[in-house]
Amino acid sequence: MSTLWNKGTQATELVDSFTVGNDRVLDMRLAKYDVMGSKAHIAMLESIGLLSKEELDTLTAALDAILQEIENGTFVLEDDVEDIHSQVELLLTRRLGDVGKKIHSGRSRNDQVLVDVKLFLKDEVLKLRGEVLELFATLQTLSEKHKNVLLPGYTHGQVAMPSSFGLWFGAYAEALADDMYMLRGAYDVTDQNPLGSAAGYGSSFPLDRQMTTDLLGFASLDYNAVAAQLSRGRSERAVASAMGAIALTLNKFAADCCMYMSPNYGFIKFPDELTTGSSIMPHKKNPDVWEIMRGNCNRIMATETQISMLCSNMPHGYHREFQLLKDILFPSLELMHKCLQMADYMLQHIIINENILDAPIYDYLFTVEEVNRRTLEGMPFRDAYKSVGIEVNEGKFRYQRAEGKTNGQLTPADLKHSSMGSLGNLCTEQIRAKMEAAGTF
């Protein structure tokens, strides 16, 4: 196998296979970022006199041609080439001769890989941001659309107090706003330029690191060369942590949907084409999408732990285990994108039950409402609580519904919940403002 670092001896095929692993396949996702990093690097090399203007123009044109091949899908990683970085340099040398060999001056594969990964992760985080915003908008739309439809709230899995679809959808929208803060933090951690730290101890060339920072669109530098290499795994862990927060939100929502779709609850349903059946029971409409999402979100939440374990027990500096970060993080990123997209797609087709509370099982849903009504009329709270409790135990409890309405006809307005974030005051605009603040990066 062709390697940039070869000193005249070759590893055995078995060693090559074991150490390279799946890296060649995963590296293809970094191809365009490797070219972007190289273009910035050679522009800087020309500025400090290590390349002539003619050499810079020649190399830039050749890199642009490679970038076009990547975008067209005609770029390939040759069988005997170790990784994407070797392939790009090999093509330049093959096409340009000796000038192609000058491109690596002042850098190591260590900072080269770091730049590629950080540029890739920045784009991935921005893509996640867009997907989260789309799902957030859908949840807020559903919250407003169904805000007057009550549904039972549960604590300890037991019928507790009145909730509403407005409150339910709105809750997950606000949870995503909190998750967006995590995503913004991951972006900030990643948005620092390691190029110029070389193998982790800098370079004797007079590199202009601020120039490459500006050219690549990083907000700042990893200033200390050793710290730049210490960031290996840190950006990946930050992104995994943010994904874990989003995945937890989706996991809980998927669990709700699986429960609410059960005929025992019957709160929501989806068109038949979005559910699956049974091989033996013709009546079944299974929530397979939500179950797979729930399971995949558990896998995504485990990503941060895997990265943490991989990056522990190593002193500072580069170690080959870092290569395995891509095996852990890249598949999780794919799962995260799919889960966000599928959740939004499913919610575009959700059907809610508007008469849930007609069932007698929910008669006791309003005990707190009755306690509060009696308290507002002057009865001490503890006396009101005790009197309602006695009526429940004796089977005599009846909630004094507004204007003789049945449970299923009641709306949040009838319950007179007006405090911020309650049934009658969802704070949709305030939550939207929170998301706008969190998503500005």
Helix (H, G, I), strand (E, B) or coil at 160: strand
**Structure-token pair, residue 85:** 């970085």
What is the dihedral sign for C-alpha 311, 315, 317, 321?
negative
Could you tell me which of 244, 240, 327, 342 has the C-alpha nearest to residue 291? Answer: 342
Rg for the chain, CA atoms, rounded: 29
Q: Are 183 and 246 in contact (CB under 8 A)?
A: yes
Residues forming CATH 1.20.200.10 domain(s) in the chain: 111-146+164-204+222-350
Residues forming CATH 1.10.275.10 domain(s) in the chain: 13-105
Helix (H, G, I), strand (E, B) or coil at 122: helix
CA dist., res. 139 & res. 291, Å (int) = 19
Task: Determine the average pLDDT of the residues in 320-326.
Answer: 86
* Cα-based distances in Å from 39 to 60, 211, 411: 6, 12, 62
Q: What percent of the chain has pLDDT over 70?
A: 92
Task: Determine the average pLDDT of the residues in 136-143.
Answer: 98
Q: What is the CATH number of domain 111-146+164-204+222-350?
A: 1.20.200.10
Could you tell me which of 170, 187, 169, 171 has the C-alpha nearest to residue 129? Answer: 187
CA dist., res. 170 & res. 421, Å (int) = 9
Supply the pLDDT for residue 399.
Answer: 80
Strand partners, 154: 159
Supply the pLDDT for residue 405.
Answer: 79
- HSE-CB at 66 with a 13 A cutoff on CA atoms is 30
Task: Determine the average pLDDT of the residues in 208-225.
Answer: 97
Could you tell me which of 335, 284, 329 has the C-alpha nearest to residue 307? Answer: 329
* Continuous H helices in 200-353: 209-216, 225-230, 234-261, 288-301, 303-311, 325-347
- HSE-CB at 266 with a 13 A cutoff on CA atoms is 10
Q: Are 180 and 129 in contact (CB under 8 A)?
A: yes
- Residue 314: pLDDT band by 50, 70, 90 thresholds? confident
Extended beta strands in 82-191, E state = 150-155, 158-164
pLDDT higher than 80, residue 216:
yes
CATH fold group of domain 13-105: Fumarase C; Chain B, domain 1 (1.10.275)
- Residue 3: pLDDT band by 50, 70, 90 thresholds? low
Supply the pLDDT for residue 363.
Answer: 85
Task: Determine the average pLDDT of the residues in 50-78.
Answer: 95
pLDDT higher than 90, residue 241:
yes
Task: Determine the average pLDDT of the residues in 102-123.
Answer: 94
Averaged pLDDT of the chain: 91
pLDDT higher than 70, residue 129:
yes
Supply the pLDDT for residue 9.
Answer: 55
- Residue 318: pLDDT band by 50, 70, 90 thresholds? confident
Q: Are 159 and 182 in contact (CB under 8 A)?
A: no
Token match 């990946």: residue? 236
DSSP 162: E
Strand partners, 155: 158
Please state whether the predicted TM-score (pTM) of the whole model is above 0.85.
yes
Q: What percent of the chain has pLDDT over 90?
A: 72
pLDDT higher than 90, residue 344:
yes
DSSP character string of 328-393: HHHHHHHHHHHHHHHHHHHHTT-EE-TTGGGSGGGGGGGHHHHHHHHHHTT--HHHHHHHHHHHHH
- Collect all residues with Cβ–Cβ distance below 8 Å to 135 and sequence separation of at least 6: 176, 340, 343, 344, 347
Could you tell me which of 144, 139, 333, 127 has the C-alpha nearest to residue 249? Answer: 139
Q: Are 441 and 187 in contact (CB under 8 A)?
A: yes
Task: Determine the average pLDDT of the residues in 135-152.
Answer: 97
Token match 């975008």: residue? 71
**Structure-token pair, residue 384:** 């009101």
Supply the pLDDT for residue 65.
Answer: 97
Which region holds residue 422: left if phi is over 0, alpha if psi is between -120 and 50, else beta? beta
Supply the pLDDT for residue 359.
Answer: 86
Supply the pLDDT for residue 13.
Answer: 66
pLDDT higher than 80, residue 21:
no
pLDDT higher than 80, residue 50:
yes
Supply the pLDDT for residue 276.
Answer: 78
DSSP character string of 306-322: HHHHHHTT--SS--GGG
State which amino acid sits at residue 274: L
Dmax (CA) of the chain:
94
CA dist., res. 218 & res. 210, Å (int) = 10
- Collect all residues with Cβ–Cβ distance below 8 Å to 359 and sequence separation of at least 6: none
CA dist., res. 205 & res. 196, Å (int) = 9
- Residue 402: pLDDT band by 50, 70, 90 thresholds? low
Per residue in 157-187, pLDDT (tens digit) is 999 999 999 999 999 999 999 999 999 999 9
- Residue 148: pLDDT band by 50, 70, 90 thresholds? very high
DSSP 49: T
Supply the pLDDT for residue 84.
Answer: 86
- Collect all residues with Cβ–Cβ distance below 8 Å to 400 and sequence separation of at least 6: 370, 373
